[in-house]
Amino acid sequence: MRKFTLKPSALYIICGLIAIVTGAASYLVWRYLGSFDILMYVLIAIFVFLGLLFGFWLLPAYFRRTVVCLSADDITVHTGLIFFRREQMKLKTAQYVTRVSSPLSGITGFNFLVIHALGGNMLLPFLRTEDCDELERALSAAVTGAED
């Protein structure tokens, strides 16, 4: 069995984006709701709390928890943000695979694979480019084998 974990750089980029969005939202609240002191402080506190919650706890936990396991017969994903999920799909049921990669995905880790089967799909998120290539090859071989 081969195991794949998520690329940490994707987490750092998302955390950076969360920091920017939190900062921008807090600035807008401070700029336009300055005359409503209590409301302004409450909203800024909520934004900062949500930013910290996702950036320092939930997303790192998600990245730490998510593992993709590939064996000869099946593919399993252990993942989850608030709801933990264990998903397993038999490779012989796979029909085709979709790969989605952003520009500079080799650095950012924004590589996604979607396995389509008759009756369900499975998403493999934030993969390293080499892991994505390997998984894509293995899945394509399984799909071709299933057709034979």
Partner 1 sequence: MYSARQHPLRFLSYTTRYFWLLIIPLARSLYSLTFEFNAFKVWLRGAWLDLLVLGAILAFAYIRWLSVWFSFDDEKIILRRGVFLTSEDRVYYSNISTISITQNFLYRLLGASTVYIGTNSGKTDRADLTVIMRRGDADRLYLAVKGSRQKSLNYSILPNKLRLIIFSLFFSSALSGVVIIVALLWETGNILDREVEARLILDTLTEAAQRVSVFVPPVITIISIVIISAWALSFISNLFVFWGFVLTKCSDSVYVKSGVITKNRHILRRDRINYIDLKQSFLSKVFNVSSLHVSCSGYGSRGRDELSVVLPITTRKEINGAIKEVFPEYPKPKIELKTHPRSYMSFYLHPIIFTALPLLAFGVFYYFLPTWYAVAYPAFAIFLFPALWLAICRTLSMFTTGFGFSDGFMTMRYSRIYTFHTVIVPKDRITKVIIRQSPFQRLGGSCTVIVRTTSEQSPKHLMRGLPLKRALDLFAANGFELYYSESPK
Binding site for partner 1 (CB under 8 A): 3-5, 64-65, 67, 71, 73-74, 76, 78, 80, 82-90, 92-93, 117-120, 122
In DSSP terms, 80 is beta-bridged to 84
Kindly tell me which of 29 and 115 has the beta carbon lying closer to partner 1.
115
Rounded to 10°, the helix 37-52/8-32 angle is 180
Distance CA 79, CA 136 (A): 20
Which lies closer to partner 1 via its Cβ, residue 34 or residue 119?
A: 119
Query: From the CB of 96, what's the least distance to partner 1, in Å?
Result: 11
Strand partners, 75: 70, 89
Question: In the complex, what is the shortest distance from the CB of residue 1 to partner 1, in angstroms, rounded to a whole number?
Answer: 9
